[in-house]
Structure 1
Amino acid sequence: MSFHLKRKIAFALLMALLTTGIISFTVIGVNLGFINDFLHIWIKSWLIAYLIAVPCILIAGPLIEQLVQKVVKEKIKTNH
């Protein structure tokens, strides 16, 4: 496995862990409040979200990078 691919996978794993954890915690807290089963519900939801997010990041990431490169172009500096 190439170094570039390892970096992409590591990025996807860490980005998914952080974002799904924060978002699932917040949404469940807002929708249910901090009920007795909150921790169990949150961990279960976080795991499901994480398993969905990792492949989405790996698949959508390169496509989004290409889109950003087309939309945001650096202006070429000229000496005029």
Structure 2
Amino acid sequence: MLDKLDHGFHLVGGRETRYTVGPYAQREFVDLLLELNHERYAEEVAKGLHDKKKSARPKPVRTSKQSGNTPPPLF
């Protein structure tokens, strides 16, 4: 799995250098998290938590009192 983490200073985000694991280890982490995400989603589907037939949650209705308390613009 992650035999070599390649700790050291690496370019992150194309702009800054940080002390972190190497690019290969980062890719492995993302792949493992994606796999786990798919497993969890499959479990939720099996439990019926993602039933497409159910209607979406209704959006909250704003009252005139709530809409009058908008913050001033920043610029």
- The structure number with the bigger radius of gyration is 2
TM-score, reference length from structure 1: 0.33
TM-score, reference length from structure 2: 0.34
Choose between structure 1 and 2 for higher RCO, CA contacts under 8 A separated by at least 6 residues: 1
Which is helix-richer, 1 or 2?
1
